[in-house]
């Protein structure tokens, strides 16, 4: 097992990896840029190395700087976390060439899964269902038209060189194909330096279902079930859960074995995720992510497996430390991403010093946080601040537990996604498990702040009056009568200010 591991990341995932290191007797070595000097991931680490200024290109993306820091710190391995260099094949190779272990798959496996058309072809060879479409990138508009007519409209045009939605176009009518092909090609060229575009059948309201896999050097490749990640906005996930409300045991095992086949097809090592689009009982390979994902905790909570600890164990040449359990998934887990973004203002990034922070806790509540009171949230990095994750015996109970935990969360000094998540927990389609990747677009009410200016002023006056009185009592209001209390109510015993927002 490693003696010292450098964590080439920041924020909550750096805290998370350091915890797994400690549990294995490994000394975690943190790195930090100038603005992160007093960040929790630094203060909680045994050792920390300053790697540069705020700019990610000169700090968390500086391959040579990170490798030099690891060598100087006497580290045996580098854990990349997610984002930054986690899916950079060149970085994985350079780490290994420097005599260090990259905690993740090989650079070749990363590259293979990074090229979307090559990945599709590899998956098709392995018998993994792919979305019907062109075998390779369309050479020109006529080839795209021929592929579209073979697949049948509506179709989706996609950039061969990248995911995340860039270069994607939905084409419903043959007359639109020419202009869509040209614009997709130029956007792909801009974004990836590679204008190649391919054609797929368009799935209009699929779910995003992903399977967690883990592979060691001893021939063991296993899956740990699915995660439902359909609540997203502009390809940024917001709420994730395990298991999915619509995946039965047989489908889970079938998709799990398909994901294992996908991993074996590229001789995969370490933790990975195979993404599918799921619609009307059919599922199709979308992409393979070659990193630990933000939402890994929901899988950990329904299986009891510490995925980061397994990453470290496997990277050090160990065997997977558990047997897949037919009892999995046990109970239900939901994650809400708490980000410094204003959901009532287009999720625009919100910055500021964290004035107060009360982290939720109690039965079945996990807070994976990378912030503390006094921490300055800026614009230099991804706005994710923490993940609030709950576990309970059923989906319904997990929803109520998440609501309670969200109410307990006190974070002031900037806007966050907390009120959006409170709205989701009360929203009937979510509560009934009626989800698709269009969920956020189909629920614009979740993006409207319920209080008008006049109401806010009234509430302020009432709050002032209440603060002068002795007060207590319960703020819970069941406006809709469906057991989902109003988002404004914050449960019994909350501050006078909060009670003032109670609409009664
Ligand atoms: C699709 C699709 C519908 N039909 N492909 C989004 C970016 C990249 N991951 C692939 N994506 C999609 N590909 C076909 N043939 C819908 C999406 C998509 C999506 C997929 C998963 C999660 C969120 C999404 C949001 C918008 C579009």
Predicted pLDDT of residue 144 = 94
Q: What is the pLDDT of residue 494?
A: 44
Q: In this predicted model, what pLDDT tens digit does every residue of 147-171 receive, in sequence order?
A: 999 999 999 999 888 767 788 999 9
Give distance in angstroms: CA of 216 to centre of ligand 1. 30
pLDDT digits (tens, 9 = 90+) for 35-93: 999 999 998 887 999 999 999 999 999 999 999 999 999 999 999 999 999 999 999 99
Of the listed ranges 1-5, 123-127, 158-162, 398-402, the one predicted with least confidence? 158-162
From the candidates 291, 309, 366, 487, give the one annotated as an active-site residue: 291
What mean pLDDT is predicted for residues 197-202?
94
Identify the pLDDT of residue 108. 94
Report cis status (omega within 30 of 0) of the bond before 191: no
Q: What is the pLDDT of residue 167?
A: 82
Burial class (CB in 10 A: 0-12, 13-18, 19+), 229: buried
Average pLDDT over residues 174-194: 93
Alpha-carbon span 168 to 158, nearest angstrom: 5
* DSSP notation for 218-235: TS-EEEEEEEEEEEEETT
The answer on pLDDT for 447 being more than 70 is: yes
Print the SS3 string covering 47-91: EEEEEECCCHHHCCCCHHHHHHHHHHCCCCEEECCCCCCCCCHHH
3-class SS of residue 260: helix
pLDDT exceeds 60 at position 291 = yes
pLDDT attached to residue 454: 63
Structure-block tokens of residue 364? 């079945």
| pLDDT tens figures, 2-35 | 999 999 999 999 999 999 999 999 999 999 999 9
Quote the pLDDT of residue 501.
Answer: 52
- The residue count of the chain comes to 504
CB 100 within 8 A of CB 93: no
**In contact, 384 and 336? CB cutoff 8 Å:** no
DSSP secondary structure letters along 436-501: -TTHHHH-GGGGS-S--HHHHHHHHHHHHHHHHS---------SSSSS---TT---TT--HHHHHT
Task: Reply yes or no on whether the pLDDT at 238 is more than 80.
Answer: yes
Residue 499 designated active-site? no
Give me the pLDDT at residue 247, please: 98
What kind and span of H or E run contains 199? strand 197-201
Q: What is the mean pLDDT of the chain?
A: 91
Vertex 306 angle, CA 7 and 424, to 5°: 95
Q: Which helix (H) or strand (E) holds 117?
A: helix 116-125
Question: Within 13 Å, how many C-alpha atoms sit on residue 57's CB side?
Answer: 0
For residue 315, the CA-to-ligand 1 centroid distance in Å is 32
| Residue 349 main-chain phi, psi, to 5 deg | -55, 140
Residue 257's Cα: distance from chain center in Å?
23
CB-based contacts of 148, cutoff 8 Å, min separation 6: 155, 171, 174, 177, 199
Model pLDDT for residues 472-491, shown as the tens digit of each residue: 544 433 434 434 444 433 33
pLDDT of residue 490: 39
In which band, very low, low, confident or very high, does the pLDDT at 129 lie, cut at 50, 70 and 90?
Answer: very high
**Percent of the chain whose pLDDT exceeds 90:** 82
Q: Residue 500's pLDDT is what?
A: 52
More reliable by pLDDT, 492 or 367: 367
Q: How many CA atoms lie within 13 A of 352 on its CB side?
A: 16
Taking CB atoms and a 6 Å cutoff, what residues make up the pocket around ligand 1? 131, 156, 163-165, 200-203, 206, 208, 232, 235, 277, 286-287, 437
Any idea which of 25-29, 76-80, 265-269, 467-471 has the lowest mean pLDDT?
A: 467-471
pLDDT of residue 375: 96
Radius of gyration, alpha carbons of the chain: 24
439 HSE (CA, 13 A, CB side): 30
Instruction: State residue 44's pLDDT score.
Output: 82
Percentage of the chain with pLDDT > 70?
91
For ligand 1, what atom is nearest to the CA of residue 287? 9
Question: Which residue of 277, 288, 294, 438 sits with most ligand 1 atoms within 8 Å of its CB, as the best mutation to test the pocket?
Answer: 277
Separation CA 218–CA 241 (nearest Å): 30
User: Mutate which of 165, 166, 204, 237 to test ligand 1's pocket (most atoms within 8 Å of Cβ)?
Assistant: 165
- 3-class secondary structure, 418: helix
Residue 298 vs residues 22, 214, 235, 485, 499: alpha-carbon distances, Å: 21, 15, 19, 25, 32
Number of C-beta neighbours around residue 95 at 10 A: 26
| pLDDT above 70 for 493 | no
Q: Up-side HSE of residue 48: CA atoms within 13 Å toward CB?
A: 21
Q: For residue 394, which phi and psi values (nearest 5 degrees)? A: -140, 165
Give pLDDT, residue 208. Answer: 98
Place 464 in a pLDDT band, splitting at 50, 70 and 90: confident
Burial label, 430 (beta-carbon count in 10 A; 0-12, 13-18, 19+): buried
Place of tokens 């097992």: 1
CA-wise closest residue to 395 among 292, 243, 249: 243
CA distances from 243 to 21, 225, 236, 333, 439 (A): 27, 7, 20, 7, 18
Q: At what angle do helices 307-315 and 296-303 cross, to 10 degrees?
A: 100
Residue 503 has pLDDT above 50, yes or no: no
DSSP conformation class of 269: -
Query: pLDDT value at position 476?
Result: 39
Confidence of residue 455 (pLDDT cuts 50, 70, 90): low
Q: Which atom of ligand 1 approaches the CA of 201 most closely?
A: 15
Closest alpha carbon to 211 in 131, 298, 279: 298
Question: 132 vs 472, which has greater pLDDT?
Answer: 132
- Which of 97-111, 179-193, 301-315, 339-353 has the weakest average pLDDT? 179-193
359 DSSP assignment: -
Residue nearest to atom 19 of ligand 1 (CA): 437
What pLDDT shows up at residue 321? 87
**All domains of the chain, ordered by start, with CATH?**
4-103 (3.40.50.20), 132-201 (3.30.1490.20), 207-446 (3.30.470.20), 451-501 (no CATH)
pLDDT at 452 over 90: no
- Tokens in use for 473? 């009592």
């Amino acid at each position: 097992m490693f003696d010292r591991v450098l964590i080439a990341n920041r924020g909550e995932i750096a805290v998370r990896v350091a915890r797994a290191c400690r549990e294995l007797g490994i000394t975690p070595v943190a790195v930090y840029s100038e603005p992160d000097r007093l960040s929790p991931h630094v203060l909680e680490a045994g050792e920390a190395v300053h790697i540069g200024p705020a700019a990610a290109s000169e700090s968390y993306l500086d391959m040579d700087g990170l490798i030099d820091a690891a060598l100087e710190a006497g580290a045996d391995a580098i854990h990349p976390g997610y984002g930054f260099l986690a899916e950079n094949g060149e970085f994985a190779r350079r780490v290994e060439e420097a005599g260090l272990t990259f905690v993740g798959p090989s650079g070749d496996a990363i590259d293979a899964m990074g090229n979307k058309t090559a990945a599709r072809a590899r998956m098709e060879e392995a018998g993994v269902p792919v979305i019907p479409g062109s075998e390779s990138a369309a050479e020109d508009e006529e080839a795209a038209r021929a592929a579209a007519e073979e697949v049948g409209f509506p179709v989706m045009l996609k950039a061969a060189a990248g995911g995340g939605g860039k270069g994607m176009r939905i084409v419903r009518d043959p007359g639109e194909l020419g202009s869509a092909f040209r614009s997709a090609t130029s956007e792909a060229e801009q974004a990836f330096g590679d204008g190649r575009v391919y054609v797929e059948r368009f799935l209009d309201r699929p779910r995003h279902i992903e399977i967690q896999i883990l592979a060691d050097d001893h021939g063991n490749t296993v899956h740990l079930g699915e995660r439902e990640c359909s609540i997203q906005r502009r390809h940024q996930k917001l709420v994730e859960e395990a298991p999915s409300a619509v995946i039965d045991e047989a489908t889970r095992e079938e998709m799990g074995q398909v994901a294992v086949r996908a991993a074996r097809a590229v001789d995969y090592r370490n933790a990975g995720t195979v993404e599918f689009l799921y619609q009307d009982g059919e599922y199709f390979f979308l992409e393979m992510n070659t990193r630990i994902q933000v939402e890994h905790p929901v899988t950990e909570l329904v299986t009891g497996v510490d995925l980061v600890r397994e990453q470290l164990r496997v990277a050090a040449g160990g065997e997977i430390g558990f047997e897949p359990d037919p009892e999995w998934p046990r109970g239900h887990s939901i994650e809400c991403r708490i980000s410094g973004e204003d959901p009532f203002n287009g999720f625009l990034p919100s910055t500021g010093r964290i004035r107060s922070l009360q982290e939720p806790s109690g039965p079945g509540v996990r807070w994976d946080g990378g912030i503390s009171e006094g921490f300055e949230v800026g614009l230099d990095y991804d706005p994710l601040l923490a993940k609030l994750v709950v576990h309970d015996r059923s989906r319904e109970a997990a929803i109520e537990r998440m609501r309670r935990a969200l109410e307990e969360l006190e974070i002031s000094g900037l806007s966050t996604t907390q009120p959006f998540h409170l709205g989701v927990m009360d929203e009937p389609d979510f509560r009934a498990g009626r989800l698709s990747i269009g969920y956020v677009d189909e629920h614009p009410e979740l993006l409207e702040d319920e209080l008008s200016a006049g109401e806010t002023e009234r509430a302020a006056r009432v709050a002032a009056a209440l603060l002068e009185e002795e007060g207590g009592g319960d703020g819970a209001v069941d406006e809709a009568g469906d057991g989902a209390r109003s988002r404004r109510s914050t449960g019994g015993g909350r501050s006078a200010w909060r009670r003032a927002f109670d609409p009664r």
